[in-house]
Amino acid sequence: MSEPRLLNRAQLRGLSQSDGSRACCHESSINYRELQKGEAYNCIPSEVVTNKVQYGVLLCIRCHDYRRQDVIYGSILYFLVPCHLFVAFIIELAAAQQAKAAVGRAKKAEKDKAKPNQTETERRSFRAAWYWIAFAHGINASMNLAIATWVVYYHIHHPGIGTICEMHAVIVWLKTCSYAFTNRDLRYALLHPDAEPVPELYSSCPYPQNITLSNLTYFWWAPTLVYQPVYPRTEKIRWMFVFKRACEVFGLGIAIWIASAQYAAPLLQNSLSGISSLDFAAIIERLMKLSTISLFCWLCGFFALFQSFLNALAEVLRFGDREFYGDWWNSSDLRSYWSSWNKPVFQFMKRHIYSPMVGRGVPPPVAQVITFLFSGVLHELMVGVPTHNILGVAFAGMMLQLPLIFITDPLIKIKSINGKLVGNLIFWVSFCLVGQPLAALLYFFAWHAKYGSVSTPQLWSGKLT
């Protein structure tokens, strides 16, 4: 997979003239819609009839089980977490001033032919300042994630609100890290002109001219996790396109709510006795039933986020590079899936974790294991912290992808279609049965073992309002 694409002028003109999503493959979008239709046509009708007979209507618009405290803390986190991005801006502003001063001193020393001792002293001073800048960025980014995680785990009881808050904190944390890493590289390029040149697109906003509030604010809202001083832009905003994508997000959100409340909730509730008694036959039966509705919710959520919401946001910001996902449903090996289903995260992992390690001499397999370790920790934070149960299931699920990757990698080398077919079958079995449904059952069981229900008022110690 390539680095985040930089579109040239001809490509931008083509994007502005297109009728579909401007950088997301239209054919992939159509194929994904067909996948959703197949899931709905084949599985949902029978589930609807069976569920209606057994449970009646479980939907309730006015019913809610979140506390006022959850909303207050969630709102505070939403507004305070992005402040760490602006702290990173202040750090980079000081770093830019220090870099410009270093360039000026270097030119003066070269002109005046400074003594070697003086030059060495300046190098030590600059190196110390460089380390202090990195230390400040590390403290700022770490505090962002640590504070948000602490608030979610100890003060936000509702898992849905907690998930949104923790996911937001992780996204801002990744953006803050990328902002620091990229500007570090640009600062190095400024101080070492003979090193590898920066992309031509950056020439319109060279370092340190990119260290501005407007530049940072655009990156804050841009649908990407990898910072660039300049992004490819489109010529105008198509508001009808935005309206259509917003309607899709709204409609799919309602579909997910109905599926979760009417179908997933009773299935999970009925699985508690089987898990507590370790009735493996009952657990497998629940997994089979839950796989259908979990796949439906996941497909709707994926389409709402990556196809609808991110494209709408990109359209409003005139963001040109819109390859948010690939045709992961056709993956014949697990490596292809993890490199195509979530392009923003994949690009971050490759740009800032995997590639730097390989460039410093780390063997690619070791770099890949470290990358999955890092991703596994983030997955556990986003699942275990909001549910107040650090089980390690999400982390283990990520690490178990590694042997599956090594198993399915040789299958794509088989010339016949059977190899790719077997690889795609392994992907879908692990995706539909072993992955999401099992994780949902385990975290749901752990939640009920700890609290009994979502609306349990007692949490930790003391009374909560």
Please pick, among 137, 379, 388, 448, the residue that the annotation labels catalytic: 379
Q: What is the rounded CA–CA span in Å between residue 112 and residue 89? A: 34
379 is catalytic: yes
- Active-site amino acid positions: 379
